[in-house]
Amino acid sequence: MRLDYPANIKVVLIPCTGKVDLLHILKAFESGVDGVYVAGCLEGECHFLTGNLRAKKRVMYAKELLEEVGIRGERIEMYNLSAAEGGRFAQIAREMTDRIRNLGPSPIRTKGGRELREEAEEVEEEQVSSKK
């Protein structure tokens, strides 16, 4: 079966979504991508036990950070599906592409990556300080 999804989707293969670090997500946005979605195993069926649950927490935290620096958390999403759901993967790719198109280009393109990175670092420092 040949999957039909938008050509602007870049698939990055990793052994487990548990390996997706917050830094990877933020670097993607810093480099100018308009959106990111993470596709992992079904909850409770992770080959590496809890990798997809760790990824879900990281994606939720990335959403919060993106909101705080004005990029909109809707630009990132986590989906859980099985390897047999290729059609669903393609559907998600189309849905995310439509969502991002409606949101418009990433503000990083217009505001500048360095300025947003500095804002993100300030937010993270505030959160670390408030936890102490």
Residue 5 maps to a domain: no
pLDDT value for 39: 95
Residue 28 maps to a domain: yes
pLDDT value for 72: 92
Helix (H, G, I), strand (E, B) or coil at 23: helix
Of 132, 98, 109, nearest to 9 by C-alpha is 98
Residue 3 maps to a domain: no
Residue 120 maps to a domain: yes
Integer Cα distance of 59 and 20 in angstroms: 9
- Count CB-CB contacts under 10 A for residue 46: 19
Residue 12 maps to a domain: no
Q: Give the domain range for residue 77.
A: 17-131
Residue 68 maps to a domain: yes
pLDDT value for 114: 61
The whole-model pTM stands at 0.77
pLDDT value for 1: 56
Mean pLDDT of residues grouped by 10 in the chain (132 residues)? 82 92 90 93 90 95 92 95 92 96 84 62 70 62
Residue 9 maps to a domain: no
- Cβ proximity of 89 and 1 under 8 Å: no
What's the domain count of the chain? 1
- Cβ proximity of 45 and 76 under 8 Å: no
Residue 27 maps to a domain: yes
